[in-house]
């Protein structure tokens, strides 16, 4: 039987760039149960002496998360960080308007940063440029990174933390182009404020890196113009511009959903072009890179009622706890393929979010923590993708989708470690078996083992039992003997299951 065919050409000398570990970041926002009964639950059977759940921390490690963005998200745009530090019994609950939830302030900057430090995960902090501004932002940098002898650093020391935290990466607000954002601004207002806040923050600590807000999605009316205007104020100051994108299957349009990675690819190319246009106009040699600090599958249009329709709630309400299918996991794997293929311009990315809120990890209060199907492609990519992202040539048939136009039927990414460790990631977006010819002239490739996620047609059902059932049915070891055939020294063929994402590991040696 003949199968549709694609050809992927790789050469060890053709490289996109180095895979930055920060590409495998995630996100913890004060939203729903991400913090309370997510990472933090005093009294839980696995809670440590600080009240943080060991089971969730262990799954975070297994997921391979390198970095965590905190404390938001929309939340940060109305957050007074000073209200979340100092003796817990003196902290007063406040009404977070972003998610209309009473924030108890049991976890604040110190608790989060110390937890991240204990777990060996790099923090990425965001400052409030919605309801606040330059002074509060600079004060927070001083609180986190300052040496003894000034007001805010001394407050940190008085609160029990002598050593500066040394937080390196800082977001200048969140989604400031979005009308839903508390303290939403137009591009000129935000650009000027970000420039002044960033300037002050770098005067406190010149070693920090800054992320300026790009558009909240490519669908925003102001997309493109926003990036140009904001960067016209901040180009020389900032290191990265943010991108956010969420994908979902809408109206049963499976083809478009499976093509989401191509949508992400075009979005990245457009933001890179916008940033480079500003650089070119300034005759600047500096290159702004991308912090893709929110990406995931999120049933935003089809299941989320909208922030303003949420009732006021307290005690860690269940908000946007999307339940994922194996199809969602295939799309997540494919989005990772896109990110790897832009390793030169996307050093930072955050799967939004880590736990309970559109997350790969779910928990029950007082109960167990478990992996959603989307956990697996992320964990596998974070484990295998290291060294250089190779610049592949992919020749594949295409198909036309409603949302993303023409998209390739097969996508691929590959990484090569200094030690010759090779990882190949492949997505088959079609409903047929596809045979991929991997051409590697000048190199001997042996693919030894792999895992694959095959999409299902099952409605996603909440709970650990269903997640385990889906994982068992759809996430499996690749039968390398059947799927992978070496053909001489320069070619290997790989057969991909319909609607699947595959990660193969092996070795590459120069011929
Ligand atoms: O990740 C959930 C929300 O999505 C974030 O708070 C916001 O930045 C985005 O709109």
Relative to beta strand 15-18, strand 443-454 is: unpaired
Ligand 1 midpoint to CA 220 (Å) = 14
Ligand 1 midpoint to CA 73 (Å) = 5
Sheet of 434-439, strand order: 393-395, 5-9, 434-439, 491-496, 484-487
How do the residues of the chain divide into helix, strand and coil, expressed in percent and rounded to 5? 30, 30, 40
Relative to beta strand 5-9, strand 434-439 is: parallel
Per-residue model confidence as pLDDT tens digits over 360-397: 999 999 999 999 999 999 999 999 999 999 999 999 99
Please say whether the beta carbons of 511 and 468 come within 8 A. Answer: no
Cβ–ligand 1 contact at 72 (below 6 Å):
yes
d(CA 52, CA 36): 9
d(CA 431, CA 499): 6
Per-residue model confidence as pLDDT tens digits over 193-248: 999 999 999 999 999 999 999 999 999 999 999 999 999 999 999 999 999 999 99
Per-residue model confidence as pLDDT tens digits over 318-351: 999 999 999 999 999 999 999 999 999 999 999 9
| Ligand 1 atom nearest to 99, measured from its CA | 6
Q: Nearest-CA neighbor of 381 among 502, 496, 476, 265?
A: 502
Ligand 1 midpoint to CA 450 (Å) = 33
Q: What's the token pair of residue 333? A: 């794997």
Cβ–ligand 1 contact at 242 (below 6 Å):
no
Cβ–ligand 1 contact at 71 (below 6 Å):
no
Give the confidence band of 445 by pLDDT, cuts at 50, 70, 90. very high
d(CA 52, CA 39): 6
d(CA 355, CA 31): 10
Average pLDDT over residues 403-421: 97
User: Is 0.85 topped by the overall pTM?
Assistant: yes
Q: Give 494's strand partners.
A: 436, 484
Relative to beta strand 122-127, strand 500-510 is: unpaired
Cβ–ligand 1 contact at 248 (below 6 Å):
no
Q: Scanning the structure block, which residue is given the tokens 């992996």?
A: 371
Q: Is 247 exposed, middle or buried (0-12, 13-18, 19+ CB in 10 A)?
A: buried
Per-residue model confidence as pLDDT tens digits over 485-509: 988 789 999 999 999 999 999 999 9
Cβ–ligand 1 contact at 352 (below 6 Å):
yes
Helix, coil or strand: residue 333? helix
Cβ–ligand 1 contact at 26 (below 6 Å):
no
Ligand 1 midpoint to CA 216 (Å) = 9
Give φ, ψ of 344 to 5 degrees: -70, -30
H/E stretch holding 496: strand 491-496
Distances (CA, A) of 321 to 45, 139, 240, 358, 360: 23, 34, 29, 5, 10
Please confirm, yes or no, whether 294 is among the known catalytic residues.
Answer: yes
d(CA 427, CA 199): 43
Please confirm, yes or no, whether 175 is among the known catalytic residues.
Answer: yes
Name the catalytic one among 41, 103, 142, 175: 175
| Ligand 1 atom nearest to 75, measured from its CA | 6
Relative to beta strand 393-395, strand 5-9 is: antiparallel
- For a mutational test of ligand 1's pocket, the pick from 352, 353, 355, i.e. the residue with the most ligand atoms closer than 8 A to its C-beta, is 352
């Amino acid at each position: 039987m003949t199968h549709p065919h694609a050809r992927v050409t790789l050469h060890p000398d053709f490289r996109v760039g180095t895979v930055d570990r920060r590409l495998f970041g995630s996100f913890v926002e004060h939203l729903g149960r991400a913090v309370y009964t997510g990472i933090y639950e005093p009294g839980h059977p696995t809670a440590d002496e600080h009240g943080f759940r060991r089971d969730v921390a262990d799954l975070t490690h297994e997921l391979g998360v390198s970095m965590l963005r905190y404390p938001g998200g929309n939340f940060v745009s109305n957050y007074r960080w000073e209200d979340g530090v100092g003796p817990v019994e003196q902290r007063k609950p406040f009404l977070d308007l972003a998610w209309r939830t009473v924030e108890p302030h049991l976890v604040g900057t110190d608790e989060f940063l110390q937890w991240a430090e204990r777990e060996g995960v790099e923090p990425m902090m965001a400052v409030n440029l919605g309801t606040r501004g330059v002074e509060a932002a600079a004060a927070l940098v001083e609180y986190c990174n300052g040496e003894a002898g000034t007001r805010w650093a001394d407050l940190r020391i008085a609160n029990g933390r002598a050593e500066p935290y040394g937080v390196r990466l800082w977001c200048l607000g969140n989604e400031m182009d979005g009308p839903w954002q508390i303290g939403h601004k137009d591009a000129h207002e935000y650009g000027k404020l970000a420039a002044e806040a960033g300037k002050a923050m770098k005067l406190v600590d010149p070693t920090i890196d800054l992320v300026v807000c790009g558009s909240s999605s490519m669908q925003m009316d102001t997309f493109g113009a926003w990036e140009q205007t904001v960067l016209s104020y901040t180009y020389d100051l900032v290191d990265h511009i943010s991108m956010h994108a969420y994908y979902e299957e809408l109206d049963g349009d499976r083809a478009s959903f499976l093509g989401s990675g191509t949508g992400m690819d075009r979005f990245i190319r457009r933001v890179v072009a916008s940033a480079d246009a500003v650089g070119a106009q300034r005759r600047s040699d500096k290159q702004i890179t991308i912090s893709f600090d929110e990406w995931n599958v999120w049933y935003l249009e089809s299941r989320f009622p909208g922030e303003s329709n949420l009732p006021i709630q307290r005690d860690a309400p269940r908000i946007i706890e999307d339940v994922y299918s194996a199809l969602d996991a295939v799309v997540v794997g494919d989005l990772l393929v896109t990110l790897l293929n832009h390793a030169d311009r996307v050093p930072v990315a955050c799967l939004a979010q880590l736990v309970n809120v559109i997350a790969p990890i779910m928990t029950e209060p007082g109960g167990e923590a478990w992996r959603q199907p989307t956990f697996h492609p992320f964990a596998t990519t974070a484990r295998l993708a290291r060294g250089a992202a190779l610049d592949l040539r992919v020749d594949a048939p295409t198909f036309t989708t409603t949302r993303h136009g023409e998209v390739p039927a097969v996508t691929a990414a590959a990484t090569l470690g200094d030690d010759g460790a090779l990882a190949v990631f492949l997505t088959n977006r079609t409903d047929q078996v596809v045979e991929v010819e991997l051409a590697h002239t000048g190199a001997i490739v042996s693919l030894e083992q792999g895992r694959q996620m095959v999409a299902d047609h099952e409605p996603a059902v909440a709970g650990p039992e269903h997640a385990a059932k889906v994982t068992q049915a759809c996430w499996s070891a690749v039968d390398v003997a059947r799927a992978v055939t070496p053909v001489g020294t320069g070619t290997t063929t790989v057969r991909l299951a319909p609607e699947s994402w595959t990660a193969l590991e092996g070795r590459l040696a120069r011929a």
